[in-house]
Amino acid sequence: MRTQDAHPVRTAWLVVAGLLAFMLLIAGCGSSGNSSSGGEEMTKLGKGEGEVNLISWAGYVEPEWTKPFEKKTGCKVNDKVAGTSDEMVQLMRTGQYDGVSASGNASARLVDGGDVAPVNVSLVPNYKTIFSDLKNQPYNTFDGTHYGIPHGRGANLLMWNSEDVKPAPTSWDVILDPKKASKYKGKISAYDDPIYIADAAVYLKAHQPELGIENPYELNEEQFEAAVNLLEEQRPYVGEYWSEAAKQIQAFASGDSQVGTTWQYQYFELEGAGKPVAASPASQGFLPSEGATGWSDTWMISSEAKHPNCMYMWMNWIVSPQANAEVAEFFGEAPAQSLACEHTAEKDFCAKYHAENPAFWKRVYYWETPVADCGNGEENCKDYNDWVQAWTSIKG
Amino acid sequence: MAGEAVVERRSAGHRLAGLFHGRRRLQVGALLAGPVGWLVIGYLGSLAVLLVAGFWTVDPLSGEVVRGFSLENFETLVNEPVYRDIVGRTVLIAALVTVTDALLAFPIAFYMAKVASRRGKALLVVAVLVPLWSSYLVKVLSWRTMLSSGGIIDWVLEPLGLHGPGYGNTAVWLVMSYLWLPYMVLPIYAGLERIPNSLISASEDLGAAPLTTFRRVILPLAFPAVIAGSIFTFALTLGDYITPRLVSNNQFIGNVIFNNISNNLPLASALALVPIVVMVAYLLVARKLGAFEHI
């Protein structure tokens, strides 16, 4: 006992030295690269494996359409709901899931990281009748190879409290133009994610054409700086940055937030609770004059899928007319399946969500992963890492 | 056959027992191998991996982690003013929460240890422990509702012509102080419990005023316990990221780690080193103040 107590400092040094040795050991062993190939495309569908493990957005995998799927295929559906695209990427990298409903700001990262495998669309019969303006898009097709099946799409919303915000806004300037935003100081709600910088870029594309922004996710130094500056100017007027839907619902319900960017889900919750809210385009049928950012989600299959057959069956099921209509109505988005419009419970649902109106979607900029490659042969665009750094600085 | 097997087994057991017989070191070693191995591999090992990752970088084109040695992340942390602000804010709030909890906890713990009856003591211990049983998230969300404009705090303060702090640093300080108070009360209570009443009586008999007794006898003896409690409150505040997210717009160290973890793991690891360094510095200061002399 005496010898142990006598040299606590020496013991501490021994622990530190041990840790250092261990670190060196790891650093030495760890230099092997780990970029996997991304897996092979399936050529023939086999029998179901009895279950399938999914990662999805809340509301994408619900009993109404998974129970019939389980009955039909014998594949039990295990779903893990993710809150953000970052979380989806992280979960997919564990290799424990068969597939994911990835938005465009996750899909490229998953493809680059070799976490997902190409999809053989001929094994997904319902793919044929998917809206053609959702096929071969930069967030689901890479170098001509299909990496997923489109699920549905929507525009991000501008929501406001119709009692406090008058007249009803028709442009994002109500929250992004400092002169107008100051009227709602402390009551503005903004999305807490680096991808929100694209909302500023959409606004600048319309209001400062001299910047020459074409794609709000491909921003060079000057364009990026302008967008970041705009959000820094907005910062003092923002009451709250939201990342959890529940947080924003509560803030709008209590009056802490009066105007801001949101998703269908929060709008429907608030409307259902009888709160005086309005939102574009959900209740008003129009987009703000600048257009809007939005999402177009894709079901992707893991390169390490343990139940690939069940995953292919799931991808075919979720875009089958009936199931796709159900999920679209449940979530409040435009279905990807053109035949789904005949199966919606609400008859004018597809019209309301502009599902069959390509002109509407021309002004919606679906989330993409910002990469250095500008798409015009130049490599000087800001990548997602820069976006994350800038977002940290904007929030301060 | 069966008889032979039994003999065989018994002799193996005997041999094993013989091996340990009289060898104390071997006995202790076998007993501790499991827990110590778990501690070293599960805790220290993962910590070492974390430290190593702080020196890696991310390839800007592929987004893949490049395993090598670079001080890039640490340079970013030092050179970008935003990270200095975030670290400063986190440490400041952690210090404020610790002081607040110490001031609140000491009288409660003193009453529990020295004044309350047996029954009252038991009741108070339960009262301190019960909040720990309810979900952390429920507590933070309740505070969020209370702090909202027109919420219960505004309502109470309204007759006085005041209004609540709203969401922000003050809210984070309030909520954290609330959350971690039990972690301060319990160690101080245990520390005060160990001070014999006879010492307090002796001090009084020798003519010391109550305040002098407190300052010269009780406080020095209870000080290690306060430090023990402060390690909990300080470390817990340094590491928390959910409370700041729910009751403020401000980023704390944990928030930035969370934001970077999927796309820039090395930077997140480098940031994770900051609370460790701060805690080590804090412990060194505590040691200088004599907090560990009686342990």
Q: What is the mean pLDDT of residues A368-391?
A: 85
For residue B2, is pLDDT > 60?
A: no
223-242 in chain A: CB under 8 A from chain B: 238-241
Task: Give the residue extent of every domain in chain A.
Answer: 51-153+295-359, 155-294+371-395
Q: State the SS3 of B203-257.
A: HHHCCCCHHHHHHHHHHHHHHHHHHHHHHHHHHHHHHCCHHHHHHCCCCCHHHHH
Q: Is the Cα dihedral B150, B153, B158, B164 positive or negative?
A: negative
The DSSP element (H or E) to which B292 belongs, if any, is none
Task: Closest CB to B150: pick one of A89, A254, A391.
Answer: A254
Size of interface A-B (CB pairs under 8 A): 101
Do the Cβ atoms of A238 and B148 come within 8 Å?
no
Q: What is the mean pLDDT of residues A77-96?
A: 88
> What confidence score (pLDDT) does residue A34 get?
42
> What confidence score (pLDDT) does residue B42 get?
87
> What confidence score (pLDDT) does residue B8 get?
55
Cis omega (within 30 of 0) for bond into A8: no
> Among A381, A388, A391, which would you mutate to test the B interface (most chain B Cβ atoms within 10 Å of its Cβ)?
A388
Question: Is residue A4 within 8 angstroms of chain B, CB to CB?
Answer: no
Percentage above 70 pLDDT, chain A: 90
* Residue type present at position B12: A
Q: What is the mean pLDDT of residues A317-325?
A: 95
* Tens digits of residue pLDDT in B21-74: 888 888 888 888 888 889 888 888 888 888 899 999 887 666 678 888 889 899
CA-based nearest residue to B240, from B137, B138, B164 = B137
Ramachandran region of residue B63, left (φ > 0), alpha (ψ -120 to 50) or beta?
A: left
> What confidence score (pLDDT) does residue A209 get?
95
Q: What is the mean pLDDT of residues A166-187?
A: 93
d(CA A360, CA A25) in angstroms, rounded, equals 57
For residue A373, is pLDDT > 90?
A: no
CATH code of the domain containing B266: 1.10.3720.10
Say yes or no: B133 and B225 in one domain.
yes
Residue B61 lies in a domain: no
Say yes or no: B109 and B160 in one domain.
yes
Chain B: closest CA distance from residue A2 (Å): 15
Question: Is residue A255 within 8 angstroms of chain B, CB to CB?
Answer: yes
Chain A: closest CA distance from residue B86 (Å): 7
Residue B217 lies in a domain: yes
- With beta carbons under 8 A apart, name residues in chain B contacting A23: 48, 51-52
- With beta carbons under 8 A apart, name residues in chain B contacting A27: 52, 55, 67, 69
Q: Which residue has the higher pLDDT, B286 or B95?
A: B95
Q: What is the mean pLDDT of residues B138-149?
A: 92
Residue B21 lies in a domain: yes
Say yes or no: B81 and B49 in one domain.
no
- With beta carbons under 8 A apart, name residues in chain A contacting B262: 86-87, 89-90
> What confidence score (pLDDT) does residue B12 get?
78
Do the Cβ atoms of A23 and B68 come within 8 Å?
no
Cα–Cα distances in angstroms (integers) from residue A104 to residues A110, A142, A372, in the given order = 10, 12, 16
- With beta carbons under 8 A apart, name residues in chain B contacting A105: none
Q: What is the token pair recorded at B279?
A: 């805690």
> What confidence score (pLDDT) does residue A25 get?
63
Question: Is residue A7 within 8 angstroms of chain B, CB to CB?
Answer: no
Say yes or no: B12 and B87 in one domain.
no
Do the Cβ atoms of A250 and B144 come within 8 Å?
yes
Cis omega (within 30 of 0) for bond into A169: no
d(CA A173, CA A321) in angstroms, rounded, equals 38
Specify the 3-state DSSP secondary structure of B79.
helix
Q: Which CATH superfamily is domain A51-153+295-359 in?
A: Periplasmic binding protein-like II (3.40.190.10)
d(CA A333, CA A315) in angstroms, rounded, equals 18
Residue B295 lies in a domain: no
For residue A331, is pLDDT > 90?
A: no
94-133 in chain B: CB under 8 A from chain A: none
Arithmetic mean of pLDDT over chain B:
88
Chain B: closest CA distance from residue A299 (Å): 20
Question: Is residue B273 within 8 angstroms of chain A, CB to CB?
Answer: no
Task: Closest CB to A19: pick one of B44, B55, B167.
Answer: B44
Task: Closest CB to A26: pick one of B48, B63, B246.
Answer: B48
Specify the 3-state DSSP secondary structure of B65.
strand
The pTM (predicted TM-score) of the whole model is: 0.80
Do the Cβ atoms of A393 and B82 come within 8 Å?
yes
- With beta carbons under 8 A apart, name residues in chain A contacting B54: none
Residue B67 lies in a domain: no
CA-based nearest residue to A128, from A316, A280, A333 = A316
Do residues B187 and B231 touch, judged by C-beta distance below 8 A?
A: no
| Beta strands at A145-146 and A238-242: parallel, antiparallel or unpaired | unpaired
> Among B262, B276, B292, B293, which would you mutate to test the A interface (most chain A Cβ atoms within 10 Å of its Cβ)?
B262
Do residues A292 and A156 touch, judged by C-beta distance below 8 A?
A: yes
Query: Measured between alpha carbons, how far apart are the two ends of chain A, in Å?
Result: 51
Tell me the pLDDT band of B91, cut-offs 50, 70 and 90. Answer: very high
Chain B: closest CA distance from residue A36 (Å): 11
**CA-nearest residue of chain B to A190?**
B249
CATH 3.40.190.10 fits A155-294+371-395, yes or no: yes
For residue A236, is pLDDT > 80?
A: yes
Using CA atoms of A58, A63, A66, A69 in order, give the dihedral in degrees to the nearest 10.
-170
Say yes or no: B118 and B242 in one domain.
yes
> What confidence score (pLDDT) does residue A1 get?
40
For residue A116, is pLDDT > 60?
A: yes
> Among A254, A379, A387, A391, which would you mutate to test the B interface (most chain B Cβ atoms within 10 Å of its Cβ)?
A254
* Residue type present at position A72: K
* Tens digits of residue pLDDT in B179-212: 999 999 999 999 999 999 999 999 999 998 989 9
Q: What is the token pair recorded at A189?
A: 């709600």
| Fold: same for A51-153+295-359 and A155-294+371-395 | yes
Instruction: Write out the residue range of the structural domain in which residue B19 sits.
Output: 2-53
Any residues with CB less than 8 A from the CB of A248 and at least 6 apart, and which?
A: A189, A240, A242, A257, A260, A262, A266
Do the Cβ atoms of B264 and A385 come within 8 Å?
yes
Chain A: closest CA distance from residue B65 (Å): 9
Tell me the pLDDT band of B14, cut-offs 50, 70 and 90. Answer: confident
- With beta carbons under 8 A apart, name residues in chain A contacting B245: 243-244
Say yes or no: B150 and B31 in one domain.
no
Do the Cβ atoms of A27 and B256 come within 8 Å?
no
Do the Cβ atoms of A27 and B52 come within 8 Å?
yes
Say yes or no: B47 and B184 in one domain.
no
* Tens digits of residue pLDDT in A336-364: 999 999 999 988 888 888 888 888 899 99
Residue B147 lies in a domain: yes
What is the number of structural domains in chain B? 2
For residue B228, is pLDDT > 70?
A: yes
Q: Is the Cα dihedral A144, A147, A151, A156 positive or negative?
A: negative
Question: Is residue B90 within 8 angstroms of chain A, CB to CB?
Answer: no
Task: Closest CB to A90: pick one of B44, B69, B261.
Answer: B261
316-355 in chain A: CB under 8 A from chain B: none
Task: Closest CB to A384: pick one of B47, B82, B263.
Answer: B263
Is the ipTM here above 0.90? no
What residue spans of chain B are helical by DSSP H? 2-20, 24-38, 46-53, 72-79, 81-110, 118-133, 136-147, 152-157, 169-193, 197-205, 210-213, 219-239, 242-247, 253-260, 265-288
Question: Is residue A112 within 8 angstroms of chain B, CB to CB?
Answer: yes
Tell me the pLDDT band of A3, cut-offs 50, 70 and 90. Answer: very low
For residue A29, is pLDDT > 60?
A: no
